[in-house]
Amino acid sequence: MEILVHAHSGLRYVVLGLLLGAIAIAFSKKDAGTSKIYLFAMVSTHVQLLLGLALYTWSPKVNFSMMKDAFYRFYNVEHLTGMIIAIVLITIGYSKAKRMNTAKRHKTVLLFYSLGLLIILASIPWPFRANLGGSWF
């Protein structure tokens, strides 16, 4: 359980880094016709989804009898919902982009990945967010 939490926690930086890298390439419009970073960024979010689902069944921070408490509500509902919306957006963006010509592909990735990144940033229990019990690693 502890290993899982640390993997999920540390992987956030891989996800954020890959998303930023993908967005930078999409923004620069450099031909990344075969760019693997779009794929790797999406896959990293899918790995987080799998780890997150496992944590969701095991973590003591998920507790449905405590829905009135903002701390539990965050892990019961907000973290999960935000992340799933972001991952769906990134996955739709990737699949749409795959079938497009280069110019359109970059635009699509820029839009969907940027939206996804913003939602992910807003849904992470950062240590500076009061009372969510998050850590940096």
Residues in contact with ligand HEM by CB under 6 A are 5, 8-9, 12, 15, 45, 48-49, 52-53, 55-56, 59, 61-62, 75, 79-80, 83-84, 120, 124-125, 134-135
Closest CB 104 distance from ligand HEM, rounded Å: 25
CB-based closest residue to ligand HEM: 52
Distance CA 116, CA 88 (A): 8
- For ligand HEM, which is the closer residue by CB, 28 or 81? 81
Closest CB 133 distance from ligand HEM, rounded Å: 7
Helices (H) then strands (E): counts for the chain: 5, 0
Closest CB 21 distance from ligand HEM, rounded Å: 15
- For ligand HEM, which is the closer residue by CB, 25 or 83? 83
Give CA angle at 79 (16, 9), nearest 5°.
45
Distance CA 55, CA 1 (A): 8
Distance CA 8, CA 46 (A): 11
